[in-house]
Amino acid sequence: MSPSLWTALAAVSTAYAASDNSQVFALPVKDVSLSNGKLMRGVPISAGTPSQSFAVVPQAHFDDTILYTKSSGACASNATSATCVTLCGGLYDQQTSSSSSTIDQDPGNDSIVGDDLLIGNSSLSDYPIVLPITEWGPTGNTLGSLGVSPNSTLLNALLTAGKIASRSYSWWWGVQTSTNLAATDGQLVLGGFDAAKMQGSQYSFPLVAPTRTALLACLQACIMPDAPLIAYIPQTPYFKTFQALTGTSNVGTELQPATLNYQGMLFPQSNVYKGNLTISINNEIAFEFPNDQLVLPNANVQPDGSILADQAAPELLLGSVLGPSSGWAVLGRSFFQAAYLAVNYDAGNFTISLWAREERLA
């Protein structure tokens, strides 16, 4: 498997104010307490005055920072407010923020506001936040997001303010298991990477957009760090071959609007895959997923905003391809339980390695 970081480019040029002098900082990926009193896993950030809390994820194919509102349409029309708060990782309320100002507003289209943004120990004033009217992106991610594309508004803002030394980031989702016995918080580093998290062999690749001419005999893959599953693979022949080799047969794809793992494959308990999964890159580095990371209870957000994990409905974190053509696979955020991703736009490359538990920012 030969990966490519799939990004979309756009131009943004603005100056921002900031309040400290860090050159690189690490943000946790953890359960974040939201306005409905419930928890959602993601990167904790705050926006507005008084501050409103959000759980977000990085999106490699967008420039903008995106937060949903109660009128955004990101949730199903019959979803309760509490459900939507959890599913979106928090809902931004411009009316209750005294520091908010409207930058661009066009009825029927996405709007942009300027507001205070607190990310880690850095505060950005009058920072542009996109408030979409519908869910953004094809990945099945429902959370708000930090755009970390090559022309990322956030990375450019932090670089301009002297908060980071380079347009770079690194990503590790942490570990989620069906038993929670080995669950571990993850990490998003802005302006660098955590050298201690990169274990063993490291493989670097140029940053390129996917094209049909790049298809080789092996399965090509794009990286989308916000997509919920471990991997999305073409139904034919790859997923059908997986089921034939494992003697399993799914009962459908998880497409419920309040699900946490959109497009995961559902199986009966009596016929779900019991083994582990290994994904190899260039036959040189292998990432292993134990069964308790590969198969999780089907999880959906309930009307009160809580998350119910149905132990009687196992869900395989492999799904149908989300990439630009049927020949491409996608490596999603759950792939980064076993792998560590470091992206450096200034150097024009990205690096993948196995992850280690230590911490040493660089």
**Residue 122 β-bridge partners:** 119
Residues 132 and 192 in one domain: no
DSSP classification of residue 36: T
Residues 141 and 195 in one domain: no
Q: Which of 273, 196, 255, 261 is nearest to 228 (CA)?
A: 261
Residue 21: predicted pLDDT: 44
Residues 192 and 314 in one domain: yes
Residue 180: predicted pLDDT: 67
- Provide the domain count of the chain: 2
Task: Considering only residues 24 and 10, tell me which one the structure prediction assigns the higher pLDDT.
Answer: 24
Q: Print the domain residue range for 270.
A: 186-355
pTM tops 0.85, yes or no? yes
- In a domain? residue 11: no
Residues 210 and 346 in one domain: yes
- Rounded CA-CA distance 47/52 in Å is 5
Residues 69 and 137 in one domain: yes
266 three-state secondary structure? strand
**Residues 338-345: what's their mean pLDDT?**
95
CATH for 101: 2.40.70.10
Give the pLDDT band of residue 254 (cuts 50, 70, 90).
confident
Which distant-in-sequence residues (6+ apart) come within 8 Å of 111 by Cβ? Answer: 102, 104, 105, 130, 131
- For a pLDDT cut of 90, what percent of the chain falls above it? 59
Burial class of residue 125, CB neighbours in 10 A (0-12, 13-18, 19+): middle
Residue 12: predicted pLDDT: 24
* Listed residues 102, 134, 169: the one ending a domain: 169
Mean pLDDT of the chain: 85
Render pLDDT for 278-290 as a digit per residue (tens, 0 to 9).
Answer: 998 878 889 999 9
- Rounded CA-CA distance 166/156 in Å is 9
Residues 138 and 49 in one domain: yes
Q: Which H helix or E strand runs over 246?
A: helix 240-246
Residues 164 and 78 in one domain: yes
Give the pLDDT band of residue 13 (cuts 50, 70, 90).
very low
Residues 245 and 192 in one domain: yes
- In a domain? residue 232: yes
Give the pLDDT band of residue 119 (cuts 50, 70, 90).
very high
Task: Considering only residues 307 and 202, tell me which one the structure prediction assigns the higher pLDDT.
Answer: 307
Query: DSSP characters for 122-145?
Result: EEEEEEEEEE-SS--SSS---SEE
Residues 270 and 323 in one domain: yes
Residues 114 and 193 in one domain: no
Evaluate the CA torsion angle 62, 68, 72, 74 in order and state its sign.
positive
- In a domain? residue 4: no
- In a domain? residue 311: yes
Burial class of residue 241, CB neighbours in 10 A (0-12, 13-18, 19+): exposed
- In a domain? residue 9: no
* Listed residues 104, 136, 169: the one ending a domain: 169
**Are 118 and 16 in contact, with CB atoms under 8 Å apart?**
no
Residues 271 and 298 in one domain: yes
Residues 336 and 264 in one domain: yes
Render pLDDT for 120-159 as a digit per residue (tens, 0 to 9).
Answer: 988 999 999 999 987 766 668 889 999 999 999 999 999 9
